[in-house]
Amino acid sequence: MSAADPTLVQEAARRRTFAIISHPDAGKTTLTEKLLLYAGAVGEAGSVTARRGRKAATSDWMEVEQRRGISVTSTVLRFEYDNVVFNLLDTPGHKDFSEDTLRVLAAVDSAVILIDAARGVEPQTEQLFQVARARGIPLMAFVNKYDRPGMEPLEIVDHLTEQLELPLVPLTWPVGIPGAFRGVIDRRDASFHRFTRVTGGSAVAHEEVVAAGDEIDEEDAPAWAVAEEELELIDVDGAEFDEEAFLSGEQIPLLFGSAAWNFGIGQLLDTLRDIAPSARPRVTDDGTPRPVDQPFAALAFKVQANMDPRHRDRVAFVRVCSGRFERGMRVTNARTGRTLALSFAHEVFGQDRVVLDEAYPGDVLGVIIGGDVRVGDTLYIGSEVRFPPIPTLTPESFVTVSNRDVNRHKQFRRGLEQLDQEGVVHVLRREHSQDPVPVLAGVGPMQFEVAVERLKTEFGADVRTEMLPWQAARRTDAEGAAKVLADPGHTDVFVRADGTQLAVFPNRFIMDRFAQRNPTVRLERLIGADEPD
**Residues of each annotated binding site:** 22-29, 90-94, 144-147
The terminus-to-terminus CA distance of the chain in angstroms comes to: 45
The Cβ-side half-sphere exposure at 216, using a 13 Å CA radius, reads 22
* Buried/exposed 404-442: b ≥16 CB within 10 Å, e otherwise: eeeebeebbebbbebbbbbbbbbbbeeeeeeeeebbbbb
Distance in angstroms (rounded) separating the CA atoms of residues 203 and 228: 30
Decide the pairing of beta strands 15-21 and 84-90: parallel
**Burial status of residue 261 (CB atoms within 10 A of its CB: 0-12, 13-18, 19 or more):** buried
Beta bridge partners of 463: 403
Cα 154 from Cα 92, distance rounded (Å) = 29
User: Could you give the C-alpha distances from 12 to 6, 20, 86, 167, 362, in angstroms and in order?
Assistant: 10, 21, 11, 29, 6
User: E-strand spans in 14-138?
Assistant: 15-21, 75-81, 84-90, 110-116
Backbone angles phi, psi at 406, to 5 degrees: -65, -20
Amino acid at residue number 362: G
Rounded to 5°, angle at Cα 29 from 187 and 116:
50
Q: What angle do CA 188, 125, 140 make, to 5 degrees?
A: 15
Instruction: Give the separation between CA 142 and CA 22, rounded to whole angstroms.
Output: 10
Residue type, 155: E
Does residue 417 contact residue 411 with C-beta atoms inside 8 Å?
A: no
The residues that bridge with 368 in the sheet, in sequence order, are 315
Q: Binding site for GTP: which residues? A: 22-29, 90-94, 144-147
Strands (E), 117-251: 139-144, 168-170, 172-175, 183-186, 191-196, 206-210
Residue 290 Cα distances to 3, 206, 282, 414, angstroms: 12, 44, 5, 37
Taking phi over 0 as left and psi of -120 to 50 as alpha, with beta for the rest, 89 belongs to beta
Burial group, residue 4, by CB count within 10 angstroms (0-12, 13-18, 19+): exposed
SS3 label, residue 502: strand
| Secondary structure string (H, E, C) spanning 415-451 | HHHHHHHHCCCEEEECCCCCCCCCEEEECCHHHHHHH
C-alpha to C-alpha distances, 325 to 96, 98, 329, nearest whole angstrom: 34, 30, 7
Q: CA distances (Å), 425 to each of 141, 396, 401, 414, 440, in order?
A: 31, 12, 12, 14, 6
